[in-house]
Structure 1
């Protein structure tokens, strides 16, 4: 969930370096960084329930499920996002410890403050992932699946 845009261009290398030591998570989109806000009880509960269901579903398949603290890197968009839930079944992702490049499922639980960005630029950028089979954007008003 995006909180505030922080002005000034930053390289992705500087972003990754700073993010390792930062107490606050930031998302990165083509040179711009955005501080992440905390999530509501409902947001965390929905994401947690989806994580648990997906984790049980993929157990024993070689797929891995991540929740909130793992970045997805969209190379074609020069962006790093923190999806609420992400699944990757690609062996190449096992080599990557700080982000994943080959997710097959991304889930975003939308909030009123972030919905426009999540349904706009982030949604557009997620579609650039060749490995993405499905994306679920969930809000209490409307659900979208791509």
Structure 2
């Protein structure tokens, strides 16, 4: 992700309109755009496995699950921020804007070399300001390893490499084996 150089500050409205019709996706921080990078095969498989595993568990609960294409809108220190998490789950019936969510209960970022620092620091600090958020997951695509941050644990990290992932939001469980299904060569 990188900032577009010498670009004028965009309004939120102009940003949202541009994202509807644009071929490239951008994250938005206080009027500045940051182009999104492409994803690896492992990244795509992990996100697909998460959707496949979570979808049956949330069916009939009034929740909506989005992978890669739905933005999260935050307002921090008078700044508007829009991020594209790899996966988000929103179970609030009032969180139904057309192009973004404001009340997700689960957010997942799949780590890559180019995004790990931002996902671990900047996005972690931003996402944990959301009162609705219960679980923040950072998923490695090079090792069978998930960092699970929970509001109920004061955002302390639990590092998982085996067994089940238990989400506080909706009290559901998902096996790590299913998360890494069809991904070879993990350390």
TM-score over 0.5 (shorter chain): yes
The 1-side partners of 2:128 and 2:119 are apart by 12
The residue that corresponds to 1:125 in the other structure is 126
Please report how far the alpha carbon of residue 11 of structure 1 lies from its aligned counterpart in structure 2 after TM superposition.
2.3
- CA apart distance, 1:105: 0.2
**Aligned partners of 2:29, 2:129: CA distance in 1, in Å?**
13
Tell me if 1:143 matches 2:141: no
Cα-to-partner distance string for 1:100-141 (whole Å, 9 max, x where unaligned): 111000000010111111112111111111100111011135
SS in 1 for 2:94: helix
Give the Cα separation in 2 of the matches to 1:78 and 1:88.
20
Q: Which has the higher contact order (CA 8 A, sep 6+)?
A: 1
Gapped runs of 5+ residues in structure 2? 150-187
Counterparts of 1:28 and 1:70 in 2: how far apart (Å)?
13
Aligned to 1:85: 87
1:114 alignment partner in structure 2 = 115
Residue 5 of structure 1: aligned partner: 3
**Post-superposition offset of 1:53:** 1.0
How far apart are residue 23 of structure 1 and its match?
0.5
Alpha-carbon RMSD across the aligned residues, in angstroms, is 1.4
Distance 1:122 1:28 in 2: 12
Q: 2:63 corresponds to which residue?
A: 63
Instruction: Look at both structures and tell me which one has the larger radius of gyration over its CA atoms.
Output: 2
1:25-44, aligned counterparts within 5 Å? 25-44=25-44
How far residue 10 of structure 1 moved from its aligned partner, in angstroms, is 2.1
Q: TM-score, normalised by structure 1?
A: 0.91
CA distance in 2, matches of 1:124, 1:52: 28
User: Which runs of no fewer than 5 residues in structure 1 stay unpaired?
Assistant: none
Task: State TM-score, norm by structure 2.
Answer: 0.72
Instruction: Determine which structure has the larger helix proportion and give its number.
Output: 1
SS of the residue 2:38 aligns to: coil
